[in-house]
Structure 1
Amino acid sequence: MTQLTLTYFDVDGGRAEPIRLALHIGGINFEDHRFPYSDFEEQRKKTPLGQVPVLDIDGTAITQSNAILRYVGKQAKLYPEDLYQALVCDEVMDAAEDCINKIVLTFGLEGEALKAAREKIAKEDLTKYLKFIELKLVNQGGKYFAQQQLTIADLKIIPIVGWLNSGMLEYIPKDLVERVAPKLNLHAQRIAADKSVASYYASK
């Protein structure tokens, strides 16, 4: 049996959360290796590119969160077999990753520099991307992003919307998603309440 170990920060959220959800929904056994932020400098030395998440597959370390999510999604039957639907799924996932990257670029900034950067991305980049992702949802019928059923694209969105709504990101309004992409906000709430997703958090 293939041995899987997923390594990421000790948080419920972030880039590893959709992977954890897909593994749980697919009934795929894995070791959920979590570490505190304070250990990151030491942990990153063990990774191929100095970043996490990393999925260890029988001793081989695989990086890049969307690649890992697709790998797991295919096994969990959460990735479309239809080529066009797979393309739509990938498009949403990559747009979501862009949102994360825009925010990460502000890490390390302080004071007025942080305020100016966060207010700018909230007004410009994040608003643009959130509206784009919401339109993709609407174009697919409004319930799911691809093939009219739960996919890894839906799982990818949950932690991002939750992060933006949490108020943890200083100078990014926690009502941003609700204001600029209300259908996307409702989608995240609905997916989080899905039996297969809710059972993951209930089991923790």
Structure 2
Amino acid sequence: MAPKYKMTYFPVKGLGEPIRFLFAYGGVDYEDYRFEDEQWPQLQGKMPYGQVPILEVENKRIHQSVAISRYLAKQFGLAGKDDWEAMQIDAIIDTITDLRTRLANVHYDEDPVSKERNREPLMKETVPFFMSRFEDEVKSNNGYFVNGKLTWADLYFVAILDYLDVMAGKDLLENRPNLQALKAKILALPSIKEWVAKRPYSDA
């Protein structure tokens, strides 16, 4: 009998969407609990380390979106055939997280002076640095991030891309044909296509 899953997150894609993509890919039912922003002050203190998303598996709770995604990837056969391949996947995931962190540091900066000062090098140097290497990585791996085959790194990247685009204020895949092809390939997977068609709307 399959475990009973529940994910708790804001009503957005954000850090929750990679988890939702993995559930869709695995064809596993789960409770996609989305609370409204005004509920967060009451919920935050009840969350492990005061953050979401969290995953409940048979009433056991765990936090950290990447750890949750990695766990599900193992359940659904997307975590690599051996330790070396798993490490390659983890390296890509951690690098995507590095980019997300740099975007978030500027996007959520409440000081308009430092936000403006830091945005130019972010968009002219940091983002092109990461995106060009992602492009080369996919080109050299036959259209995927690792070893020329589908792994959770591919699902994770496509799932979190809307969030990255919003923080960047642009389409990060512009002039990146290999990444564009990867995105199209992931979104064409029947289970992912079905999820994207029915999911609640949010910008990111």
Which whole-Å deviations, capped at 9, do the CAs of 1:159-199 have from their partners, x for residues lacking one?
A: 3333344xx33xx35144314x4422332233223223111
Which whole-Å deviations, capped at 9, do the CAs of 1:12-60 have from their partners, x for residues lacking one?
A: x211111111112112221111112333333221221121111112222
Question: Is contact 2:100-2:164 (8 Å) kept?
Answer: no
Residue 57 of structure 2 aligns with which residue?
A: 57
The answer to which structure, 1 or 2, has the higher relative contact order (CA under 8 A, 6+ apart) is 2
**Structure 2 residue aligned with 1:191, among 177, 186, 192?**
186
TM-score (norm 2): 0.85
**Which amino acid counterpart does residue 170 of structure 2 have in structure 1?**
K
Residue 133 of structure 2 aligns with which residue?
A: 132
Residue 68 of structure 1 aligns with which residue?
A: 68
Residue 173 of structure 2 aligns with which residue?
A: 177
Q: Name the structure where helix makes up a greater proportion of residues.
A: 2
Q: Distance in 1 between matches of 2:63 and 2:169?
A: 32
Secondary structure of 1:105's match? Answer: helix
Structure 1 vs Structure 2 CA RMSD = 2.1
TM-score (norm 1): 0.85
Which whole-Å deviations, capped at 9, do the CAs of 1:71-120 have from their partners, x for residues lacking one?
A: 11111122212222222211111111111111222214243432332332
Give ranges in structure 2 of 5+ residues lacking alignment: 200-204
Secondary structure of 1:186's match? Answer: helix
Q: Distance in 1 between matches of 2:173 and 2:117?
A: 19
Give ranges in structure 1 of 5+ residues lacking alignment: none
Residue 17 of structure 1 aligns with which residue?
A: 17
Number of aligned positions between the proteins: 197
Q: Distance in 2 between matches of 1:65 and 1:202?
A: 23
